Amino acid sequence: MRGVFVLNSVIMISVVLFVILFLLLVGLPFKAFKNISKYVLRGIVCVMIVFLLNYILASNNFHIPINAFTCLFVSILGMPGIVALGVIGIYLV
């Protein structure tokens, strides 16, 4: 089963690289590319922060799931999004 996971990861990375290359060759406007890269970078940093919070607060049974919704939410809102997910995790779940 491990081989399937590795193959799926390689396929996903290949697809992402192909899409980026295609958008660069087609000529995505520079301003749009700059905005997209800003949100992607913000999302990556914030997901890393959520991962570290999950790791640090695991002893207190605190967990924020990392999925497509939380990634989108955090990449749009940034640090306030992480705080909002924490509040939702504490009071609603």
> Would you give per-residue pLDDT tens digits along the chain (93 residues)?
554 555 566 777 787 778 777 776 776 666 666 777 777 778 778 778 888 888 888 888 888 888 878 888 887 887 888 888 888 888 876
Nearest to 40 by CA among 91, 88, 9, 32: 32
Rg of the chain over Cα atoms, rounded to whole angstroms, equals: 17
- ∠ CA 37-39-63, nearest 5°, is 135
